[in-house]
Amino acid sequence: MSVGEDIEGVGVISESGRFVVLGAGPAGLAAAYRLARAGLSPLLLERAPRAGGLMQGIKNGEYSVDLGRKEIYERNPEVTELLDELLGDDFEGYPHRVGLLYQNHIIEYSMQFLGALRGVPLGLLAGMLSGLVWARLKSIGSTPRNYEERWHQAWGPLMSRALSQGYSEKFYGVKWIDRPVDSGFRRIDDKESKANGQPRRSLTNLLKHFRHDPDAERLWRHPKGGTQALVDSLVAGIEEYGGEIRFGTEVKQVNSSESGVQSVEFKSAEGVCETVNTKELVSAVPMMVLANILGLDSDLLKKDDRNKNRMTILLYLFLDAPSEFEHAWLNVTSPDLLIGRVTNYGSFASGMIPEGKGCLCLEVFTTPEDPFARRGDEEVISHMIQELVSAELLNEASIVDRRLIRLPGGEASNESPTWTSHSVTAFQAQIRQIENLYDVNRAGVDVALYAGLIAANAIETGSRTEFDELANPSKAPTYSQDKGAL
């Protein structure tokens, strides 16, 4: 690669133009990998000192675990083919056992483990069913005034709280009582509203919901060494096939004209300002970042940003013994606990933790202004540990190491509904007018990988229309974050 000097003393890379990718998260890595395999020698620019974004892993001695809870969905054949190509036999199946923690009771998401009752104690079950019947009787002729009343009338207060409300309010950061009655957190809300005008399943449908679990019929797989193994494989492949990755680079500006993107200006890790002439540009950076470097108005995007003023606190507990439960993760619906989710890496792929040991990740979904988030690290760690001990899910003596991470923003998959907002739809339409710019930033590992692959395929084949149709973010597959919820 030759670096020349323009008349202003700024380095110019490749006067003829290169295929440039911004951001080394899952989408950017997938795009760069596919472009490199096609012999197009992409240049991947990443601001951080390492690749992966939210897909990177946490290394601690023999432990190699994920950043929070990660599920690898295989909803697109192209993504499954990529994963098999990169990981081979290290893409392992695991028992997809998920639970809800409510008042020290673990309620199974799937009936395959504890049968139709799913571990619900008889006393709690009786309270749920009686509450359901009473709520239906009381709501005859009445109209719910908010989201909480909507579901309490449909399912009863106790069933709503135990199966969904506590976790949902923590995850989204919004109390149900403060949501409009017609607001939807999940796709099922919209479906039921359109079909029935109100979210009321019959008791027969409720029982059918508890008898059948589609997820139990699928094979769930995970990288043997955690998601970092997937990141490492993508990075190695990019470099093997002739791609180049620049870490510690800050993109300052994207220059474009009526004919499309002309060049990208950035500052290297060494502080040198450089310009790369661009044939095609794939952007995997957040939309607001892309808007800013393009010189576009990002105010509307800020209004619809579901993760602004959010924070996720992750506490890793490395154990010298297996964890006290077998589930891959538990969503915490108990309203008296700050913890929103507990991930148990010992129930994922075999290579994430040493044999005979364990590792848990406790998550609190909060805001930087929350009094709990403003406490010192040791106080936060102590409180979260005691919550899990009180739930009888942790032997504190088994902890051999701890690590606290305060992650800016909310859970990544919380962003999924943002893609259907008016401002994002309008921004995407504006971006599509730049013919050699492919915006692949997406929420969800498999959705992001898919967008990156489709962008690279479109560049290789010269079919931009295919990318706009197949990778339209508003059409991306979605899923309920309220696993096992109503």
Supply the DSSP symbol for 6.
-
Length of the chain: 486
Give me the mean pLDDT over the 450-478 stretch. 87
Token pair for residue 88?
Answer: 């081979």
Q: 482 or 289, which is more confident?
A: 289
Distance CA 177, CA 193 (A): 18
Please name which of 440, 448, 449 lies closest in space to residue 468, comparing C-alpha atoms. 440
Distance CA 385, CA 392 (A): 11
3-class SS of residue 10 = coil
Question: Which residues lie below 8 Å from residue 380, measured CB to CB, with a gap of 6+?
Answer: 313, 315, 372, 373, 404
Q: Which of 5-19, 297-311, 362-376 has the lowest mean pLDDT?
A: 5-19
Partners of residue 169 on adjacent β-strands: none
pLDDT above 90: residue 190: no
Give tens-digit pLDDT for 228-248. Answer: 999 999 999 999 999 999 999
Supply the DSSP symbol for 414.
G
Single-letter amino acid, residue 267: K
Q: Residue 120 — pLDDT band, cuts 50, 70, 90? A: very high
Give the containing element (helix H, strand E) for 333. Answer: none
Q: Which of 9-18, 108-117, 340-349, 352-361 has the lowest mean pLDDT?
A: 9-18
Please name which of 322, 273, 266, 274 lies closest in space to residue 47, comparing C-alpha atoms. 266
3-class SS of residue 253 = strand
Token pair for residue 120?
Answer: 């619900």
Helices 422-431, 287-294: inter-axial angle, 10-degree rounding: 50
Give tens-digit pLDDT for 58-69. Answer: 999 999 999 999
Q: 351 or 245, which is more confident?
A: 245
Please name which of 109, 141, 101, 117 lies closest in space to residue 338, comparing C-alpha atoms. 101
Q: Which of 197-211, 440-454, 460-474 has the lowest mean pLDDT?
A: 197-211
CA 354 to chain centre: 26
Partners of residue 21 on adjacent β-strands: 44, 282
Token pair for residue 336?
Answer: 């008296």
Give the containing element (helix H, strand E) for 68. Answer: none
CB 151 within 8 A of CB 164: yes
pLDDT above 80: residue 457: yes
Token pair for residue 358?
Answer: 């364990």
The sheet carrying 311-319 orders its strands as 105-108, 98-102, 329-332, 341-344, 358-366, 311-319, 399-408
pLDDT above 80: residue 420: no
Sign (positive or negative) of CA dihedral 44, 47, 53, 57: positive
Single-letter amino acid, residue 269: A
Give me the mean pLDDT over the 36-64 stretch. 95
Helices 445-461, 26-37: inter-axial angle, 10-degree rounding: 30
Q: Count the helix, strand and coil residues of the chain and give each as a percent rounded to the nearest 5.
A: 40, 25, 35
Model-wide pTM > 0.85: yes
Give me the mean pLDDT over the 344-365 stretch. 94
pLDDT above 60: residue 188: no
Half-sphere exposure of 436 (CA within 13 A, CB side): 21
